[in-house]
C-alpha cells in the first residue's frame, strides 16, 4: 500500500504542510508547521484514523514554523530538525511587526543530519541536507515511495530564494547537483505550490549545475 499524502496550504503565503500517513500502522509524519496549520493537520489525522508521531521542520523561516510549538504541545509528537535549526527555533525572530505572527520558541527533541533516517512504519525517509535557501534546510527522501519533501529547496520551475539572510547561491548550486542524482520519477513535494518531479525539473537544474560555480 502506498503512503497517504495530504497537502495543507496554510497561512498568508500558502505554505504547504504535509500529513504523511503509513497505511498499515496509521502513524503519521508532519512536514512543516506553517501558520494556521495546526488545526487542519490534527483534523486531517483524526479524519483518517491516524496518529501524528513526528513533526519534521525543513527549515526555520517563519512561514514554516509558526505553528510548530503548538502542534508539538497538542499532539505530544516529538519535533525534529537539523542541528543548525536549534538556535533559530529556540530564539525565533518575528518576521514583521504584526503581533499575530509572533513565533513561540520550541526546542527540537531530535536532530536530523545528512544521511540520518526517519522511520514511518516500513518506510525509511533519508535525510538530505539541502542548504542554499537556508543553511539548516533538509529534505526527506523515500526511495521506495519515490517521494521527496524538500521545503523550499526545489519548486516547479525554480528553487528557493537566495536573497535572504543566510542564503547562498553556491550552496544552492551544490544542492541542485546533488538532487540531480535522484531518479526522474521522484515526486517533489515543495514548500509552496504544486508537486513536480525531478524529471520535469531536470533540464533547468542541469543548466544551473553546469554553468554556475560551486
Residue 10, pLDDT score: 98
* CA-to-CA dists, residue 6 to 3, 28, 33, 86, 209, angstroms: 10, 11, 13, 27, 32
Q: What count of other Cβ atoms lies within 10 Å of the Cβ of residue 118?
A: 22
Percent of the chain residues topping a pLDDT of 90: 89
> Sorting pLDDT into bands at 50, 70 and 90, what band is 214?
very low
pLDDT at 165: 85
Element at 46 (helix H, strand E): helix 38-47
Q: What are phi and psi of 210, to 5 degrees?
A: -90, -15
> Which pLDDT value is given to residue 190?
98
**How far is it, in rounded angstroms, from Cα 93 to Cα 41?**
24
Residue range 187-195: mean pLDDT, rounded: 98
Q: In whole angstroms, what is the distance from residue 52 CA to residue 65 CA?
A: 17
Instruction: Pull the grid cell for residue 62.
Output: 517563519
E strand residue ranges, 130-186: 138-142, 147-151, 154-155, 158-159
More confident residue, 169 or 96: 169
**For residue 122, pLDDT beyond 80:** yes
Where does the pLDDT of residue 213 fall: very low under 50, low under 70, confident under 90, or very high at 90 and above? low
Q: How far, CA to CA in Å, does 133 sit from each of 17, 70, 172?
A: 18, 25, 7
Q: What pTM was computed for the model?
A: 0.95
Which one is predicted more confidently, 94 or 150? 150
pLDDT digits 0-9 by tens, 67-114: 999 999 999 999 999 999 999 999 998 777 676 678 999 999 999 999
Q: Which residue has the higher pLDDT, 184 or 209?
A: 184
Residue 15, pLDDT above cutoff 50: yes
110: CB partners within 8 A, 6+ apart: 54, 78, 79, 80, 81
Q: What is the CA radius of gyration of the chain?
A: 16
Q: What is the largest CA-CA distance in the chain?
A: 48
Residue 212 pLDDT greater than 60, yes or no: no
Structural domains in the chain, CATH included, are: 4-93+111-211 (3.60.15.10)
Amino acid at each position: 500500500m502506498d503512503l497517504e499524502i495530504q497537502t495543507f496550504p496554510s497561512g498568508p503565503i500558502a505554505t504547504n504542510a504535509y500529513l504523511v500517513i503509513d497505511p498499515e500502522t496509521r502513524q503519521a509524519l508532519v512536514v512543516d508547521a506553517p501558520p494556521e496549520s495546526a488545526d487542519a493537520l490534527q483534523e486531517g489525522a483524526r479524519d483518517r484514523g491516524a496518529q501524528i508521531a513526528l513533526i519534521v521542520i525543513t527549515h526555520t523561516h517563519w512561514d514554516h514554523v509558526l505553528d510548530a510549538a503548538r502542534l508539538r504541545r497538542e499532539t505530544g509528537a516529538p519535533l525534529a530538525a537539523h542541528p543548525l535549526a536549534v538556535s533559530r527555533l529556540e530564539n525565533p525572530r518575528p518576521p514583521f511587526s504584526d503581533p499575530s505572527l509572533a513565533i513561540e520558541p520550541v526546542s527540537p527533541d531530535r536532530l536530523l543530519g545528512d544521511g540520518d533516517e526517519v522511520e514511518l512504519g516500513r518506510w525509511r525517509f533519508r535525510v538530505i541536507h539541502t542548504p542554499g535557501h537556508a543553511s539548516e534546510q533538509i529534505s526527506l527522501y523515500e526511495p521506495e515511495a519515490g517521494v521527496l519533501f524538500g521545503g523550499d529547496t526545489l519548486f516547479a520551475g525554480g528553487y528557493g530564494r537566495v536573497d535572504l539572510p543566510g542564503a547562498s547561491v553556491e550552496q544552492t548550486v551544490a544542492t541542485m547537483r546533488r538532487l540531480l542524482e535522484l531518479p526522474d520519477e521522484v515526486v517533489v513535494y515543495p514548500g509552496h505550490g504544486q508537486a513536480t518531479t525531478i524529471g520535469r525539473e531536470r533540464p533547468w537544474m542541469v543548466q544551473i549545475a553546469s554553468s554556475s560555480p560551486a
